[in-house]
Amino acid sequence: MKSIKRHKIILFLPSLCSGGAERMTVNLANEFSNMGHIVEIVLSKAEGPYLSLVNSSVNVVNLGSDRVLTSLFPLMFYLKKFKPDIVLSAIEHANLAAIVSNIMAGNISCVYIGIHTTVSKDLLKDKFFRRKIFSIAMKILYPIAKGIIAVSDGVKKDLEKVLDNNNVKINVIYNPVITPEILELSEEPCHHQWFNQKKIPVILGVGRLSKEKDFQRLIKACHLIMKKYNIYLVILGEGEERKSLEALVGQLGICNFVWLPGFVQNPYPYLRRASVFVLSSQYEGLPTVLIEALAVGTPVVSTDCPNGPREILEGGKFGELVTLENVESLACSIEKAITKERVKVNEDDLKKYSSGCAALNYLKVFEEK
């Protein structure tokens, strides 16, 4: 379906590294292009595994900057040259850069910023001085943008508190998670032997190996289950916590039952064949992989973290919600999910997460007066 007005749209990011916001931006860019819009993905540095997923009809622009800060002027000059109708950014520092660059280019009225995480929690990762600078910059610059788009109601409410500004309008649009390609990719063969047998359940975690994903808790919960049952645990993803996770697996003596293969370009065959998908995060925005697991028919267990899982699972209707910081409860919920009959969620319940639905909702916001 095509929008009535044909837009020139720029989507700005630092790179297309292996993150949820990056993957969702590619899905959105491809969908906008399919609808007939002129679309460009502008990157501080054109690198990352998701570059290969960009449609040939979407132009990728490399600003050649190692950092977002040093891409301010190249982005400003490019904006003056391309003269977009819409600029949409995602990720906090890229949002600030997009606003500043558009001010310098003299066209702030076309900038929209996407909020993909629980900002208050994300800020806590930074050191005090950096956190204060980012917090002040957001309060000053975010209200200047033409529009702010949060990926869940929880993210919206959190940002309202951070900005402390009742006059800022924040729209909620769910991410463009479900595409026709996901279901096709999930049918591809899965070569690891654990996924090609039905006797021993395989528990799956997916995400960046970082502290907020809390894979330590998932490993500990699976260790408790292993005392009673034979199970395997697989965690797809790469990150700074790899060494500590591998050390924990070694300390618990479960090396033969845990596999950490790193980043996988196509996780969907693993997701489809897993016995249970588990989200163990301390916080999220709208966890993409939780929606993808539901789409391919895999039972899910998730921490009831801020924000996203409670909205996606509709309070526990579509999967188990577990209290944060409770390893025993997580283990109990995984056990329960393993023994339950596998039930696929109705497609109508997931339609709001389709790439087509998301793109149309973005266009409605862009075309508001």
Closest CA to 228 of 93, 328, 140, 104: 328
Give bridge partners of residue 235 from the DSSP assignment.
205
| Rounded CA separation 56/65 (Å) | 23
* Tens-binned pLDDT, residue by residue, of the chain (369 aa): 444 578 999 999 999 997 889 999 999 999 999 999 999 999 999 999 999 999 999 999 999 999 999 999 999 999 999 999 999 999 889 999 999 999 999 887 899 999 999 999 988 887 777 788 989 999 999 999 999 999 999 999 999 999 998 789 999 999 999 998 898 999 999 989 999 888 999 999 999 999 999 999 999 999 999 999 999 999 999 999 999 999 999 999 999 999 999 999 899 999 999 999 999 999 999 999 999 999 999 999 999 999 999 999 999 999 999 999 889 999 999 999 998 877 778 888 999 999 999 999 999 999 886
Contacts of 286 (CB under 8 A, 6+ apart): 116, 151, 152, 155, 174, 175, 307, 308, 311, 312
Question: 8-176+354-366 with 180-349: one CATH topology?
Answer: yes
| Residue 234 φ/ψ, nearest 5 degrees | -125, 130
**Domain segments of the chain as ranges:** 8-176+354-366, 180-349
With beta carbons less than 8 A apart as the criterion, state whether 2 and 32 touch.
no
CATH superfamily name and code, 180-349: Glycogen Phosphorylase B; (3.40.50.2000)
Fold classification of 8-176+354-366 (topology level):
Rossmann fold (3.40.50)
